[in-house]
Amino acid sequence: MDLKEIKKIATKKHKGQKRKQGTPAILHPLGVAEILKEKGFSQEYQIAGLLHDTIEDNEETTYEEILKITNLEIATAVNLVTKEENYDEQDYHDRIMKNDMARMVKLADRLYNLRDAVNANIEFQKKYIKETMKWYVNMAKGTCFEKEINEAIENLKKTVKRKEYKQKIERYKSTFKQKKHLDVQTDAEQKNNKEVEEIEY
- Cβ neighbors of 29 (< 8 A, separation 6 or more) are 10, 14, 49, 50, 51, 52, 53
pLDDT of residue 21: 82
- Among 2, 34, 38, 56, the active-site one is 56
pLDDT of residue 196: 42
Position 68 in a domain: yes
Higher pLDDT: 170 or 164? It is 164
Position 189 in a domain: no
Q: Could you tell me the pTM of the whole model?
A: 0.84
56 is catalytic: yes
Does 6 have pLDDT greater than 70? yes
- Among 57, 65, 73, 146, the active-site one is 57
At 77-92, the pLDDT tens digits run 999 999 999 999 999 9
> What is the DSSP track for 154-176?
HHHHHHHHHHHHHHHHHHHHHHH
Does 183 have pLDDT greater than 90? no
CATH number at residue 15: 1.10.3210.10
Position 27 in a domain: yes
pLDDT > 90: percent of the chain: 80
Taking residues 26-36, what's their average pLDDT?
Answer: 98
Does 97 have pLDDT greater than 70? yes
57 is catalytic: yes
> What letter represents residue 22's amino acid?
G
pLDDT of residue 186: 55
Position 26 in a domain: yes
Position 65 in a domain: yes
Position 159 in a domain: no
Position 128 in a domain: no
Position 185 in a domain: no
Q: Which residue range(s) make up the domain with 69?
A: 3-120
Lowest-confidence segment of 39-43, 133-137, 176-180 by average pLDDT: 176-180
Number of domains in the chain: 1
pLDDT of residue 168: 82
pLDDT of residue 193: 53
